[in-house]
Every structure is written in structure tokens, then in C-alpha cells.
Amino acid sequence: MIKKGFTLLEMLVVIGIIAILVSLGFASYSTVQKKARDAKRQGDLKSAQQTLEQCYSVNSFQYPIISGSPGTITATCPAPNTSITFTLTDPIDSGTYRYTVTSSTTTDYVITADIESSTTDFSVRSQQ
């Protein structure tokens, strides 16, 4: 009488192949997540730059004061244009990946975001 079934060796080979495929999928998924967060940071900074330039043009050619803390940056145009505002919050909100205000005066600004998938940072500057 012959028993039908899989041997232990066949089962181990199949489990090993599945483990390799899962680890490859996880690595590529992790990379895609990092790139998506980086794209969000860059888009947020471009949007903030446009908002600051709009505020500059309607506020006697001065930028608003930018306040920041690790992971969040906020700016509101002074009166009477207080409807022009933005708040940037980092996608993972950690100390490693944060927005940093390097200059915050009424005539010039630079906002920098740490990029996960690169060693260089992404910055936006005043256009005036």
C-alpha cells in the first residue's frame, strides 16, 4: 500500500520559497512607503511656499512669522489676511523626519524637510 502525501523535505522547500518571496515583497513595500512619504513632504513644502508667496504679495511685501516644533510648522498671514494659513505635519511625526525652519524673518525664509530615501534634504526658499 502506497501512502499519498508530501514529504517533510518537500514541505520545507515550499515554506522556504514562500519565506523568500514574503521578504522580497516586504522590502519593496517598505521602499515604496518611504518614497510616498518623501513625495508628500515635497508636495507639502511646495504648497507652503505658494501660500507664503501669496501672503507676501498681499501683506505689504513681508512674510509671516513661521512657528515650528519638531514635526509641525505653522504660519498665518497677519491681519487683515488671516485666512491665508498653513500647517505642515510630518507623515510619520518623528524627531528624525521633521520639518526644520532655518530662517524665520519677515524678509526671508527657508524651510527644510529631511528625506528618508536620500541623504540630501529638500528645501524651499523665499522667491523674492
pLDDT at 98: 65
Report domain extents, the chain.
8-125
Q: Quickly tell me which residue has 523535505 as its cell.
A: 9
Beta-carbon contacts of 126 under 8 Å, excluding residues fewer than 6 positions away, are 52, 53, 56, 63, 107, 108, 109, 110
pLDDT at 95: 57
Is the pLDDT at 34 greater than 80, yes or no?
Answer: yes
- Hey, which residues does 124 pair with through a beta bridge? 111
Is the pLDDT at 101 greater than 80, yes or no?
Answer: no
In angstroms, the Cα distances linking 89 to 23, 58, 60, 109 are: 31, 25, 28, 18
Average of pLDDT values for 91-112?
A: 69
Is the pLDDT at 106 greater than 70, yes or no?
Answer: no
Q: What is the pLDDT of residues 50-93, one digit of tens each?
A: 988 888 888 888 888 777 776 778 888 887 878 888 888 888 87
Lowest mean pLDDT among 9-23, 32-46, 71-85: 71-85
Average pLDDT, the chain: 83
pLDDT band at 30 (very low <50, low <70, confident <90, very high): confident
Residue 83 DSSP symbol: T
Nearest of 103, 107, 112 to residue 127 by alpha carbon: 107
pLDDT band at 10 (very low <50, low <70, confident <90, very high): very high
**Are the C-beta atoms of residues 44 and 88 closer than 8 Å to each other?**
yes
